[in-house]
Chains A and B, each alone.
Chain A
């Protein structure tokens, strides 16, 4: 796109009301005629309590005023999105992040799309901890240009030395964070100095006004003489277009690089290659002419057809077949911003969403938590809301993801809670971990089918879940005796027994319970592969953990059995004396007392723990060997 300006600039603004951010943004909006006159009139008329601005003047801070609910309850809800039209025709999309609690989360969201960040520093107060916080988050989210607006210069007598002192500190931090470009501008949002008009009060400043800086900005790799390697072609497939005449096209957005007809491309998921036959847009229908594109650049939404049939589904990435290759992996090191109210649980299965792709994934390790103010790394086991940390993520199947610094769209991902569907984290891939590429699955000649023939029956996993003392082990024991006599190869994985060996390092917190379930599920998977009917007798109180266990198996191979015994009955029975201990307070995490038990919503079978044992066994045996 040499020779033309980037039409849309994504701007993120950070800073608190104290720094004068609302006033600065409000003035920029007003002075670029980006605000309708009735909104301006509102800002002339309305006054907040304590405002010293005379009625009739514009209170610029009111132009960015938030929601009714926010004003009434004094809470900040989230990022606000506005637009600005610059005199040179450029559109600026502003993501304005509020500066209160939940700051990290909001700022990370706002900065995720940002080309440029305006970082506000109050000249009178100097660099503060939150200045470092803004810089760190901007850098982490990949913002390449930081405009440091040193505000309230009028309060320090427009003094050059104050400005230099502040930007010296900011530049040092920015250099440590590898921020490629820092532009510093002394401004006064209240008086308008160096916002859209050059200040007469600071003749010592030769740089651009804020408006000029926004008008002149270009991405680093788009500037004349830029020595940056071409961005690699990436095209995540969103939708398969099928139309008359055997038309089969892959619709999506070019998120990086460019593609031309005839290019050899790689289906990164399968490793297959093909050549681009056509690049189709709607405009081919105009006037009945066939007028496909020869080429599509980053940001364009197009439909691609390939020269021969290869297997491509939604979520697959079509990529350059040469140069910077992206290969599937199932373990990644990533920086992660935790935004969920519940902390990160190790071993719990989440959905990893990367563009149009969703796959189950677990966080297997937290390496450290980042102190966003000081830049230090602290040892940590969990991440809580607004924490940022380095983690290791394992996906259920290998997927191609890029380092975030190479391509934001194919290197950034969300984690989604599998029960509430809430977004709980945003991650930035730093690198795929070598382990996954080097550990190649070996296909053995004696496989599942061969074992089934020898065993004479299918392998299954019967997962008994329910409160402690519900009767899971008793039912498993009776069922296994019966099956054994019928010649079925069985094994019982009992929660209590497993905790004496394999899982003796685990406790009863939600994270440890998730890991407990994960390990037991993996062991039962190995045993099922060996051809055995496995009974798992495990409290396994959380839906998400049980769902992750089920995902390891083929449909029909995993039976979730809810042993439904009322809490009053199990605590009365109290075969292990646990409920008595919980009542005394010495066992805080007992399921059903100190921790919640999430009953299955759609179990394969429900057995009454107080019912007839023989009847329960009969039901189970029938489910396993048939009538």
Chain B
């Protein structure tokens, strides 16, 4: 061994090619091995990539399984418009799952703490949706770089009866070979983007010209500042606190979710190039803008997963 010569470099696109091939492999395995798989579509950037990869995996045939959205009723309006437009463009078999009982009881992000709200409107709605249609595998966009407890998440993540995640029952993953067999009552969550980073997602969206909601791009939006977080006033259901007046500021969103729980970031990035540049320089993890993960410390993601959350 000698001291290094000038080291050649790897083009980013080559890394994306490998990640793409891995995700397509996972998709094909899921479609073939399970009786009734579903793609969980949450409208955000990761879901947009997932959808694009599903189209690629089965081309020239259409996506061979339905797509399900867990609708809390508090998503940004633009997200719902975007969802319905994409579903029509791609001819998706779109199912919508909601916790109707909780909505009728008047559960909102303001009546309940974020933890309980998330449990009722997302986790319970997801479980009910999966049970109603009898889905035995659900594809989601979780990535291992999102949060510390995700580092041990499997690509094929086993759920026990009742959608429980038991860390000790997780199957070891050898090679590209997945054990997709299920005992009665078990189901699988599948994460084709496990090895992607947030920047990979953006670079891939840019390279492949994948449509994403406009909310990711900066433009003047009405916001209020609450406990250091910028909340967009997307409709008149947001109860304004005393003295709060919506202010038009140039902001964008790094992740999309329920609008009263999603913090905007001040930014002027309004083109894909600027956006990727901004993300490449980002030093904070994306979940830092999400109020959902805040309560109960950084461990809460793991707790939610045990209850059946993604």
Which residues of A does B touch, CB under 8 Å? Answer: 4-8, 36-39, 42, 65-69, 77-83, 85, 88-91, 93, 105-106, 108-109, 112-113, 183, 206-208, 212, 215-216, 238-239, 241-244, 247, 251-253, 255, 280-282, 284-285, 299-301, 303, 314, 339, 351, 353-356, 358, 408-409, 412-414, 416, 419-423, 426
Contact = CB atoms under 8 A, between A and B. Distances in A.
Contacts of A420: 183
Contact of A5 (B9, B24, B288): B9
Given A67-B149, A89-B9, A423 B167 contact: no
B111 interface: no
B197 interface: yes
Contact of B172 (A69, A78, A238, A409): A78
Nearest to A113: B175
A414 B55 CA distance: 30
Nearest to A413: B177
A216 B4 contact: yes
Given A89-B15, A301-B28, 6 more contacts: A36-B284, A77-B152, A93-B195, A252-B28, A356-B29, A356-B33
6 contacts: A8-B18, A36-B288, A77-B170, A112-B174, A409-B176, A412-B174
Instruction: Name, among A89, A215, A238, the residue most crowded by chain B CB atoms within 10 Å (CB to CB).
Output: A238
A550 B13 CA distance: 51
B55 A77 contact: no
B176 A355 contact: yes
B152 A79 contact: yes
B195 A69 contact: no
A81 B28 contact: no
Nearest to A89: B10
Interface stretch (B38-46, B58-66, B122-130, B249-257): B58-66
Nearest to A339: B172
B225 interface: no
Contact of A416 (B11, B25, B181, B186): B181
B186 to A, nearest CB: 7
Interface in B168-189: 168-177, 179, 181-183, 186
A423 B55 contact: no
A81 B194 CA distance: 9
Interface of B: 1-4, 7-12, 14-15, 17-22, 24-25, 28-29, 31-33, 55-61, 144-145, 148-149, 151-152, 167-177, 179, 181-183, 186, 194-195, 197, 283-285, 288, 298-299, 302-303
Given A7-B14, A36-B285, A301-B24, A282 B59 contact: yes
Contact of B15 (A8, A109, A285, A358): A8
Chain A, interface SS category: mixed
B148 A65 contact: yes
A242 B60 CA distance: 8
B151 A80 contact: yes
Contacts of A83: 144-145, 195, 197
Contacts of A8: 15, 18-19
Contacts of A421: 179, 181-183, 186
Contacts of A238: 25, 28-29, 32
A88 B15 CA distance: 12
Contact of A301 (B9, B33, B57): B57
Contacts of B17: 7, 300
B4 A285 contact: no
Q: Which 8 A-B pairs have the closest CB atoms?
A: A36-B285, A7-B14, A89-B10, A282-B56, A301-B24, A282-B59, A37-B283, A109-B172
A284 B59 CA distance: 9
A408 B7 CA distance: 29
Contact of A109 (B7, B174, B285): B174
Given A39-B148, A358-B181, A416-B181, A241 B58 contact: yes
B148 A281 contact: no
A183 B1 contact: yes
Contact of B25 (A67, A78, A82, A253): A253
A285 B62 CA distance: 13
A264 to B, nearest CB: 25
B33 to A, nearest CB: 8
Contacts of B21: 253, 299-301
Nearest to B20: A301
B181 A81 contact: no
B307 to A, nearest CB: 14
B5 to A, nearest CB: 9
Contact of A206 (B1, B22, B24, B197): B1
B247 to A, nearest CB: 27
B148 A88 contact: no
A414 B182 contact: no
B25 A301 contact: yes
Contacts of A422: 169, 171
B179 A414 contact: yes
Given A212-B4, A423-B179, A4 B56 contact: no
A148 to B, nearest CB: 13
Given A89-B12, A216-B4, A409 B302 contact: no
A145 to B, nearest CB: 12
A216 B7 contact: yes
B177 A105 contact: no
A252 B175 CA distance: 15
Instruction: Name, among B171, B181, B186, the residue most crowded by chain A CB atoms within 10 Å (CB to CB).
Output: B181
Contact of A77 (B4, B8, B167): B167
Given A8-B15, A42-B298, A80-B152, A239 B28 contact: yes
B28 A299 contact: no
B174 A285 contact: no
B89 to A, nearest CB: 14
A5 B303 CA distance: 41
Contacts of A105: 172
A239 B18 contact: no
Contact of B179 (A109, A280, A416): A416
Contacts of B194: 81
A282 B62 CA distance: 11
B175 A281 contact: no
B152 A78 contact: yes
A412 B178 CA distance: 12
Nearest to A315: B32
Given A38-B284, A241-B61, A91 B15 contact: yes
B7 A88 contact: yes
Contacts of A69: 167, 302
Nearest to A299: B21
Given A68-B302, A69-B167, A7 B61 contact: no
B60 A241 contact: yes
Contacts of B175: 112-113, 408-409, 412
A88 B179 CA distance: 35
